[in-house]
Chain A
C-alpha cells in the first residue's frame, strides 16, 4: 500500500513555543491530506482538511490560528501548533488518500510542559 511519512514521532516542548509536524506522501501525490487528533483511549477526531495550493478547511471548533496548516506541494503538508499549551498535548496523525483508500502516518505525540 501507499506510504505516508510523519515527523517527528515525538515532541516535548515548553509552553508558549510553536511546533511543526510534517506529513509526506512518499510514493503518491496527495492533493488532499487530513489532520486528526487523538486523546488517550479515544477515537480520532478530524481537525482539518489540507488542500494543496489553497487554504485548509477546518472542522467546527478547531482554532485556525492555533493550528496552522500549509500544503505547499503535492507530497507535503505541515501542521504548526502555535504557542502551544499543555491542553494541546495530544497524539496528532495525518492521512492521505491514494485512489480510494486512506493511509495514515505513524503519528506525533506532542507533550507540552
Chain B
C-alpha cells in the first residue's frame, strides 16, 4: 500500500530564507508526483507536476525534484515571502488517475 509522508509537519522561517520541503513515498512505481498549495479553508492550487520520466521542474522561485528509486521528492522555495505561508501537499499517482496525498507541511513565513 502506497504511503506518502511529508516532513516537517510544520515550519516557521523568517522572510527571505531559502527552504526545502520533503516528501517520501513507499512505492516507487508512480506515474506522476504533484505539489500543491492549500490556503486555509480553500481548495488546492497546483504548483508543479513532475512526470515519472522527469527529475525536476521549476516555476519561478519554486523547484521540485523527484528521485523515484529512493522514493523522495523535495520542493525548494527560494527567497521565501510572507505570501508563501500556506500548507504544501505532495501527491503521487500510482496509476488509474488516483492520487494519494501526504499529510502536508504547514509553512509560515514571518515578515
How far is it, in angstroms, between the C-alpha of A104 and the C-alpha of B91 when the chains are bound?
A: 13
CB pair B51 A107 closer than 8 Å: no
Contacting residue for A44 out of B45, B46, B89, CB 8 A: B89
In the complex, the answer to whether B46 meets A107 with C-beta atoms within 8 Å is: no
With A32-B97, A100-B49 as given contacts, are A42 and B43 in contact (CB-CB < 8 Å)? no
Chain A contacts with B in 54-69, Cβ cutoff 8 A: none
Count of chain A residues with a beta carbon within 8 Å of a chain B beta carbon? 24
- Asked if A103 is an interface residue, CB under 8 A from chain B, the answer is yes
Q: Does A84 have its Cβ within 8 Å of any Cβ on chain B?
A: no
At the interface, is chain B mostly helix, strand, loop or mixed?
A: strand
State which of B13-21, B62-70, B74-82, B99-107 sits at the interface with chain A: B99-107
In the complex, what's the smallest C-beta–C-beta distance from A8 to chain B, in angstroms?
13
Contact of B97 among A42, A45, A49 (CB under 8 A): A49
In the assembled complex, which residues on chain B have CB atoms less than 8 Å from the CB atom of A32? 97
- Contact status of A104 and B98, CB under 8 A, knowing A6-B43, A93-B43, A109-B41: no
Dominant secondary structure of chain A at its interface with chain B = strand
The reply to whether B98 and A107 form a contact with Cβ atoms under 8 Å apart is no
CB pair B43 A105 closer than 8 Å: yes
Which residues of chain B come closer than 8 Å to A89, judged between CB atoms? none
Distance in angstroms from B61 CB to nearest chain A CB is 18
A97 surroundings in chain B (CB, below 8 A): 97
**Given known contacts A93-B43, A107-B42, A42 and B98 CB-to-CB distance under 8 angstroms:** no
Other than A42-B103, A43-B104, A49-B97, give 18 A-B pairs with Cβ distance below 8 A. A32-B97, A34-B97, A43-B101, A44-B44, A44-B89, A44-B91, A97-B97, A100-B32, A100-B49, A101-B46, A101-B49, A102-B34, A103-B46, A104-B36, A104-B44, A105-B43, A107-B43, A109-B41
Q: A interface vs B, CB < 8 Å?
A: 1, 4, 6, 32, 34, 42-46, 49, 91, 93, 95, 97, 100-107, 109
